[in-house]
Structure 1
Amino acid sequence: MGGIGKTALALEAAHQAHARGWFPGGTLFVDLRGYDDDPVTADQAVLALLDALGVRDHDLPPTPERQYDAYRALLAERRDRTLLILDNASAPSQYLPLLPGTDHHRVLITSRDRPDALPVRLIDLEALDPDDSMALVTRALRDTDERDDRPAREPDALRELTDLCGHLPLALQIAAGMLRRRRHRDIASLVTEIRKAGDPTTVLDRGSPGTDLYGRSLVLRPVLETSYHRLPPDQARLLRLLCLAPGAETGTEAITALADLGTETTLCLLEELAAAHLVTPVRPVGGPASAVRWRVHDLVRAFGAGVVAADAELQKEGEAARERVLEFYCRWAEAADARLQWLRGRAEPERFADRAQALTWLDGERAGLVAAVGWAREERFAETAVRLAEYLVEYLSWRRYFDDWIAVAQAAREAAHRAGDRLREAGAWNNLGAALQEAGRAREAIDAHVHARDLFQTVGDRRHEAMTWTNLGNALRDAGRAQEAIDAHVHARDLFQTVGDRHREAMTWTNLGNALRDAGRAQEAIDAHVHARELFQTVGDRHREAMTWGNLGAALREAGRTQEMIQAWDRSLEIFREVEDWHGEGKILYHLAHAHAAAHRPAEARTAYLQAAGAYTRANAPGEAAEARTRAAELPEPD
Structure 2
Amino acid sequence: MGGIGKTALAVEAAHRARARGWFPGGTLFVDLRGYDDDPVTADQAVLALLDALGVRDRDLPPTTERQYDAYRELLSERRDRMLLILDNACDPSQYLPLLPGTDHHRVLITSRDRPDALAVRQIDLEALAPDESVDLVTRALHDTDERDDRPALERDALRELTGLCGHLPLALQIAAGMLRRRRHRGIASLVAEIRDAGDPTSVLDRGSPGTDLYGRSLVLRPVLETSYRRLPPDEARLLRLLCLAPGAETGTEAITALAGLDTGAVLSLLEDLAARHFVMPVRGSNVTASSVPWRVHDVVRVFAVGVVAGDARLREEGEAARERVLDFYYRWADAADDRLRWLPGMQEPRRFEDRGQALAWLDGERAGLVAAVAWGREVRFAGTAVRLAQCLGEYLYSRRYFDDWIAVAEAAREATLLAGDRLGEAIAWDHLGVALREAGRAEEAIDAHTRARDLYQATGDHESEAMAWDNLGIALREAGRTEEAIDAHTRARDLCQEAEDRHHEAGAWHNLGNAQQDAGRTEEAIDAHTQARDLFQATGDRHREAKAWHSLGNGLQDAGRAEEAIEAYGESLEAYREFEDWYGEGRALHALALAYEAAHRPTEARAAHFQSADAYTRANAPTEASEARARAAELPE
Superposed displacement of residue 295, structure 1? 0.4
The answer to whether the aligner puts 1:226 opposite 2:212 as a matched pair is: no
Q: Could you tell me which residue of structure 1 aligns to residue 276 of structure 2?
A: 276
| Alignment pair present for 1:530 and 2:527 | no
Partner of 1:613: 613
Q: Secondary structure at the match of 1:291?
A: coil
Cα distance per residue 1:325-358 (max 9 Å; x no partner): 0000000000000100011111111211110110
Answering whether residue 136 of structure 2 is matched by residue 124 of structure 1, we say: no
Is the contact made by 2:432 and 2:448 (CA closer than 8 Å) also made in structure 1?
yes
For residues 607 and 18 of structure 1, what CA distance do their matches in structure 2 show? Answer: 61
**Aligned ranges for residues 298-377 of structure 1 at < 5 Å?**
298-377=298-377
Map 1:484-633 → 2, pairs under 5 A: 484-633=484-633
Tell me whether 449-458 or 306-315 shows the greater mean CA deviation: 449-458
Do residues 86 (structure 1) and 86 (structure 2) align?
yes
Code of the aligned partner of 2:36? D
Deviates more, 1:455-464 or 1:341-350: 455-464
Shift of 1:456: 1.9
**Farther-moved stretch of structure 1 (622-631 vs 309-318):** 622-631
Q: What corresponds to 2:197 in structure 1?
A: 197
| Aligned counterpart, 1:105 | 105
Tell me, in whole angstroms, the C-alpha distance in 2 between the residues paired with 1:528 and 1:295.
Answer: 51
Which deviates more from structure 2 when the two are superposed, residues 356-365 or residues 182-191? 182-191
Where 2:426 maps in the other structure, the secondary structure is helix
Change (3 A) 1:291 1:610: farther
- Partner residue, 1:389: 389
Q: Over aligned residues, Cα RMSD in angstroms?
A: 1.2
State the distance in 2 between where 1:90 and 1:583 align: 53
Deviation at 1:290, TM superposition (A): 4.2
Q: Shift in Å at residue 150 of structure 1?
A: 1.4
Tell me if 1:265 matches 2:268. Answer: no
| Residues 210, 218 of structure 2: 8 Å contact kept | yes
Q: Moved runs in structure 1, 4+ residues, more than 6 A?
A: none
* Equivalent position amino acid for 2:577 in 1: R
How many Å apart are 1:629 and its aligned residue? 1.8
> What per-residue deviation string (whole Å, max 9, x for no partner) do you get for residues 112-167 of structure 1?
00011100001000100111111111111122122221121111111111111100
| Residues 488-515 of structure 1 deviation map (CA, whole Å, 9 limit, x = unaligned) | 1011111111222111111111011111
Q: 1:36 to 1:363 in 2, by over 3 A?
A: same
State how far apart, in whole Å, the 1-side matches of 2:620 and 2:268 are: 36
Q: CA deviation at 1:284?
A: 1.6
Tell me by how many angstroms 1:288 deviates: 4.2
Equivalent-residue separation in structure 1 for 2:186 and 2:597 (angstroms): 55
1:413 aligns with 413
**Residue deviations 1:241-280 (CA, integer Å, cap 9, x gap):** 1111111111111111100001100000000000000001
Secondary structure of residue in 1 paired with 2:267: helix
Corresponding residue number in structure 1 for 2:115: 115
Structure 2 Cα separation of the partners of residues 631 and 104 of structure 1 = 66
Paired with 1:165 and 1:78, the residues of 2 have a C-alpha distance of: 45
Partners of 2:594 and 2:22 lie apart in 1 by 65
Which residue pairs with 1:235 in the alignment?
235
CA separation in 1, counterparts of 2:419 and 2:368? 24
Q: Which residue of 2 aligns with 1:467?
A: 467
- Equivalent residue, structure 2, for 1:54: 54
The CA distance in 2 between the partners of 1:595 and 1:564, in whole Å, is: 10
Identity across matched positions, percent: 76
Structure 2 length normalisation: TM-score?
A: 0.98
- Kindly state the Cα deviation for residue 51 of structure 1 after the two structures are TM-superposed: 1.0
- SS of equivalent residue, structure 1 residue 185: coil
Looking at structure 2, the residues matched to 67 and 600 of structure 1 have their Cα atoms a distance apart, in angstroms, of 93
> Which residue identity is paired with 1:243?
C
1:440 aligns with 2:440: yes
Give me the whole-angstrom Cα distance separating, in 2, the residues matched to 1:164 and 1:104: 44
Alpha-carbon distance in 1 for matches of 2:323, 2:508: 39
**Letter of the aligned partner of 1:621 in structure 2?**
A
How far, CA to CA, are the matches of 1:71 and 1:150 in structure 2?
52
> Displacement, 1:286?
5.5
- Following the alignment from structure 2 to structure 1, what is the Cα–Cα distance between the partners of residues 118 and 69? 22
What is the CA-CA distance between 1:621 and the residue it aligns to?
A: 1.6
* AA aligned opposite 1:145: D
Distance in 2 (alpha carbons) for counterparts of 1:374 and 1:286: 29
What is the distance in 1 between the residues matched to 2:151 and 2:490? 58
Question: Number of residues paired by the alignment?
Answer: 637
Q: Does the Cα contact within 8 Å between 1:283 and 1:289 map onto a contact in 2?
A: no
Q: Give secondary structure in 2 for the equivalent of 1:107.
A: strand
Deviations 1:541-565 (A, max 9, x none): 0100111111110111010111110
- Residue pair 1:284, 1:291 contacting (<8 A) in 2 also: no
The answer to whether the aligner puts 1:182 opposite 2:182 as a matched pair is yes
Give the Cα–Cα distance (whole angstroms) in 1 for the partners of residues 486 and 404 of structure 2. 30
Instruction: Give secondary structure in 1 for the equivalent of 2:428.
Output: helix
1:289 CA drift (Å): 4.5
Q: Secondary structure at the match of 1:88?
A: strand
The corresponding residue for 2:429 is 429
Whichever residue aligns with residue 448 of structure 1, its letter is: A
Q: Who is 1:210 aligned against?
A: 210
SS in 1 for 2:349: coil
Quick one: distance in 1 between partners of 2:342 and 2:32? 62
In structure 2, runs of 5+ residues without a counterpart are none
Deviations 1:442-488 (A, max 9, x none): 11111211221222222222121111111111111111111111111
Question: Which sits farther off after the overlay, 430-439 or 495-504?
Answer: 495-504
Work out whether residues 562 and 599 of structure 2, in 8 Å CA contact, stay in contact via their aligned partners in 1: no
Q: How much does 1:600 deviate? A: 3.5
* Paired letter, 2:9: L
Secondary structure of 1:110's counterpart equals strand
Q: What SS is found at the alignment partner of 1:81?
A: coil
Show the counterpart of 1:379.
379
In 1, distance between residues paired with 2:118 and 2:201?
34
Contact 2:253 2:291 in 1 (8 A): no
CA distance in 2, matches of 1:19, 1:594: 67
SS in 1 for 2:111: coil
Q: Which amino acid aligns with 1:527?
A: D
C-alpha distance in 2, partners of 1:353/1:436? Answer: 32
Q: Which residue of 2 aligns with 1:453?
A: 453
Query: 1:595 Cα shift?
Result: 2.2
Shift of 1:285: 3.9
2 CA distance for matches of 1:523 and 1:316? 64
